[in-house]
């Protein structure tokens, strides 16, 4: 049997997921906290095993250490604080057990129990310092910064016992998988080298070519297209549409490569380099040996340099902390000269007019008018799904 890559920080995957609360925990008698979107997302990620070896929400001291040193106080490498900020001071106290409620479903079911270790009040200055470290900017036009500023100044930390993964298993039964389920798929498939591709978008031909190129050059046994199923910024394409696009592309154009299309329940941070590091931890925990990191990975607008998300892996020398390897990719485009999608840093003798390119804004405009985008940019089967969405 193949030996899988070890998860981050432990020899085996530690998943704090129980089927039901213990009988001794009278959930109805406990104080409750309705989770906001980011906190709910964090609970799902911890319960799914993607944030191994975390057991709950970080304290301010732990979050500050992560922001300043990329490490928890115990030395564990971690790039982004996993915290629970709320707007109002709660009516429970540290040392109590509380029930965490999921506001996205009817009746707000209890998704986890939390042993509250501390309740801390953060100053606006402390919040701003954390934002600047995470996102590299305090500009509220950045969607991650804007969201963070709405969360509140009261930080609640403590260990979790999770027994529900939110609405994702129900809403995406053929796509959502936990880290352990993906590890089992890798073992059952007999894969050794496994490439992961992170996406929050439908897959265009550039993505397709990049995945195939990485699999070929690494000599991988399988590819995991791992899509984010949580919340995105306004204007991004909903998860269900992306799911249809990606599965259609794989069915039509990935016949020669073993592929698993899967998804995970996290909200996009748009934190650029720091989020790329978190993406690597997520993929190592699910058993991938390689992660594709492309141009402006996890970025938004012009807040990050084109290759900052690649450079940070070398700057921090993360090979000392992470086992997963990074496949760096340049910007890709369709070459009319060569008749295929290429990485721009690998072709000579081209001028700008030799490439077929289309901005996301112009692509959306075409789809909204019911016009098919160039076949060199989007596969027609995928374009049809997108066109139906935009016209509706």
Catalytic residues: 200-201
CB 82 within 8 A of CB 54: yes
Plot region of 204 (φ>0 → left; ψ -120 to 50 → alpha; else → beta):
beta
d(CA 185, CA 331): 31
Structure tokens at 30: 């406990």
Which residue, chain included where needed, has tokens 């991988």? 220
Instruction: Supply angle C-alpha 178, 180, 183, rounded to 5.
Output: 115
CA-wise closest residue to 229 among 385, 18, 50 = 50
Supply the DSSP symbol for 179. Answer: H
Which residue, chain included where needed, has tokens 């129980």? 18
CB 67 within 8 A of CB 136: no
Q: How many helices (H) and strands (E) does the chain have?
A: 12, 14
Buried b vs exposed e over 15-34: b needs ≥16 C-beta within 10 Å? Answer: bbbeeebeeeeebeebeebe
CA-wise closest residue to 59 among 118, 9, 100 = 118
Which residue, chain included where needed, has tokens 């919040």? 127
Strand partners, 118: 157
d(CA 184, CA 147): 35
CA 48 from centre of chain:
13
Coil, strand or helix at 346 = helix
Longest dimension (CA), the chain: 72
Query: Exposure of 45 by Cβ count < 10 A (0-12 exposed, 13-18 middle, 19+ buried)?
Result: buried
d(CA 348, CA 133): 39
Which residue, chain included where needed, has tokens 């199923």? 229
CB 337 within 8 A of CB 362: no
């Amino acid at each position: 049997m193949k030996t899988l890559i070890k998860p981050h920080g432990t020899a085996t995957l530690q998943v704090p997921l129980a089927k039901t609360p213990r009988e001794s925990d009278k959930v109805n008698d406990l104080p409750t906290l309705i989770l906001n979107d980011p906190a709910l997302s964090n609970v799902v990620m911890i319960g799914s095993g993607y944030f191994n070896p975390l057991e709950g929400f970080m304290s301010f001291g732990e979050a500050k250490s992560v922001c300043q040193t990329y490490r928890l106080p115990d030395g564990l490498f971690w790039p982004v604080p996993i915290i629970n900020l709320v707007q109002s001071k709660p009516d429970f106290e540290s040392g109590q057990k509380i029930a965490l409620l999921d506001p996205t479903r009817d009746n707000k079911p209890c998704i986890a129990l939390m042993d509250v270790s501390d309740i801390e009040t953060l100053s606006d200055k402390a919040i701003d310092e954390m934002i600047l470290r995470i996102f590299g900017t305090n500009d509220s036009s950045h969607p991650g910064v804007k969201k963070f500023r709405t969360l509140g100044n009261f930080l609640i930390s403590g260990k979790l016992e999770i027994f529900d993964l939110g609405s994702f298993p129900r809403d995406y039964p053929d796509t959502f998988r936990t880290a352990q389920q993906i590890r089992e798929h890798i073992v059952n498939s007999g894969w050794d080298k496994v490439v992961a591709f992170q996406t929050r978008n439908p897959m265009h031909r550039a993505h397709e070519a990049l995945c195939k190129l990485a699999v070929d050059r690494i000599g991988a046994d399988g590819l995991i297209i791992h899509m984010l199923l949580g919340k995105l910024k306004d204007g991004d394409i909903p998860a269900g549409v992306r799911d249809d696009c990606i599965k259609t592309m794989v069915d039509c154009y990935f016949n020669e490569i073993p592929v698993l299309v899967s998804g995970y329940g996290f909200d996009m941070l748009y934190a650029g380099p720091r989020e790329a590091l978190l993406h690597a931890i997520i993929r190592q925990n699910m058993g991938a040996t390689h992660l594709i990191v492309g141009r402006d990975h996890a970025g938004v607008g012009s807040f990050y340099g084109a290759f900052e998300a690649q450079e940070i892996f070398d700057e921090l020398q993360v090979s000392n902390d992470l086992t997963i390897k990074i496949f760096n990719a340049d910007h890709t485009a369709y070459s009319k000269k060569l008749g295929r999608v290429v990485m721009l840093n690998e072709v000579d003798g081209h001028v700008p007019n030799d490439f077929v390119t289309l901005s996301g804004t112009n692509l959306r405009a075409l789809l909204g008018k019911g016009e098919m985008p160039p076949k060199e940019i989007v596969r027609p089967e995928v374009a049809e799904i997108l066109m139906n969405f935009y016209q509706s």
